[in-house]
A and B are shown apart, each in its own frame.
Chain A
Amino acid sequence: MWEQAGIVVGALVTLAIFSLLYKDNPLYRFAESLLVGVSAGYYLVQYCFSAIYRKFYIPVIGEGDLWLLPGGILGLLILLRLSRRVQWMSRYAIAFYVAAWSGYLIPSVLQERILIQIRSTFPPSLAEASIWAVLGSLFLLVGVVSILVYFFFSAEHRGALGRISQVGITFLMVGFGASFGYTVMGRVSLLIGRFQYLFQDLPQALSF
């Protein structure tokens, strides 16, 4: 019973969101407001449980693991933002939050986004690979080099630098076009999924 009612409600809110395609209207506004409220509540409960309860309350209060106490203290510091007088103390929590991840990012980004990508751009040996493979990897190399030249900021893009960066922007545009075309079918399949919900699941629920 609740399941069938749920499908009917789901179909109604689906139509309400689709109505945005016509224009902003009271139905969409209702659905948008409901989505914001319900999802904000949903995530609040999830994080309170998974973060505050499981990562702070149980280990610190329940098991006496004091290594997890600073998390709670930093969390409380951030609440001091609400007071003008001691607002500065919340900077400790924000500095912690941002700097901790930055520290982690430096080596991992250097390895995954830079070193591995550079390594993967190296072409195969002339002696081992076919002419097509060599030409392909040479083309790839020209693309990567010219794009990196496009991203030079401290020099005017004139002369040779300007011409190479023009090649770079050409590669970028073809690449972005390809990404665009590649994504279209995926988006259409999402729409088909919603239509299946409306034209298959809903009639089944109503036939009950």
Chain B
Amino acid sequence: MRMAFRTVWYGLLVACLACAWSAPSAAAHVAHADSLDGGAQEAEGAEAQGVSASSEEVLDGAGSEAEGGETPSTGWFDTEHTPTAVATLLFGAILLFFIRSARSGKPLFIRRIAGLEAVDEAVGRATEMGRPILYSPGLDPMEEVATVASINILGQVARKAGEYETRLIMPNRDPIVMTVAQEVVREALTQVGRPDLYNADDIYYTTQSQFGYAAAVCGTMMRERPATNFFIGHFYAESLILAETGNATGAIQIAGTDSDSQLPFFICACDYTLIGEELYAGSVYLSREPLLLGALKGQDVAKAVLLVVLIAGAILAFFGIDIGPYLG
């Protein structure tokens, strides 16, 4: 395993150097189109269409590229993507290096994240009040990494719920998320020695409809009166409906999303909010698993590299040297 790890890592470094070598020539092909997250703010209202939407987006994207007519290159390596290839390899190498370092058992520090510190208190409160906990994993399908991050946090919340003997309710919009969540919760409860607390009926599917799901979760909050609500995952316009209804029922609420357009609403209506990347750090924070801590450290190092690129690029840009085309 260690040998394989080392091979992959060295392979990535070599490939990285090879790609970097070809980057300047490839960069010349790249159009300097300025882009941003345009439309995200308005698009959030649209129904999140789950798997088919994401797949179709990809197909549409591929289609439009094909329709574009002029293709910069063909063959095994599309040089138009050289900067992305370099970034992918570099990021992968940094991540693998720190995961490998974490194997040595060196303790790694992670700063306090208020929303996650409150998980114990929130679960404890539900136990004291004799009320359940509600967990919503957001609207995105299982394939989206925000949902994977949410499921990881769910595992930790379920463990605590098991330790405190508190019921956990989880309405789902996606059937695959439901099946995975059932498995994760059952495993968490087994690990804390309380498999008897597992009830598959409490982790159920509602509907694919965005607002149908919102209606069902609101109904559950008003009838079951959970003492604690977790909204962790990717949310769309329904975020405020859920958070405000939860607020009206007097629940303590912990939210976490990577959707920048929904963060303001969660911040206003919830007690604690995991902002953007904190969602991805959440499961590492709760589990303290060395390998994942190593990956988080690698993520921070990659961030530091980006900051250096950003500041150096800005200084050069002030003096008329544009390194933008080298970034894709």
Contacts and interface: CB of A to CB of B under 8 A. Distances in A.
B328 A116 contact: yes
Contacts of A180: 264-265, 268
A29 B320 contact: no
Contacts of B286: none
Interface string B260-288: 11011101100000011110010001000
A122 B148 contact: no
Contact of A36 (B34, B42, B215, B309): B215
Interface residues of A, number: 71
A183 B41 contact: yes
B242 interface: no
A140 B313 CA distance: 14
A120 B37 CA distance: 11
Interface stretch (A2-10, A61-69, A93-101, A196-204): A93-101
A51 B52 CA distance: 8
Label chain A's interface by main secondary structure.
helix
B63 interface: no
B65 interface: no
A176 B264 contact: yes
Interface in B30-89: 34-36, 41-42, 45, 52, 54, 58, 81, 83-85, 87-88
B219 A39 contact: no
A170 interface: no
Nearest to B113: A153
B156 to A, nearest CB: 16
A40 interface: yes
Given A118-B306, A151-B278, A155-B111, A177 B322 contact: no
22 contacts: A35-B211, A51-B52, A97-B176, A102-B143, A104-B58, A107-B81, A111-B87, A115-B87, A120-B36, A122-B322, A123-B318, A125-B318, A125-B319, A125-B320, A126-B320, A128-B320, A145-B311, A149-B307, A151-B303, A152-B111, A152-B303, A172-B275
Interface of B: 34-36, 41-42, 45, 52, 54, 58, 81, 83-85, 87-88, 91, 108-111, 113, 142-145, 148, 176, 179-180, 183, 205-209, 211-212, 215-216, 218-219, 222-223, 260-261, 263-265, 267-268, 275-278, 281, 285, 296-297, 299-300, 303, 306-307, 309-311, 313-314, 317-320, 322-324, 327-328
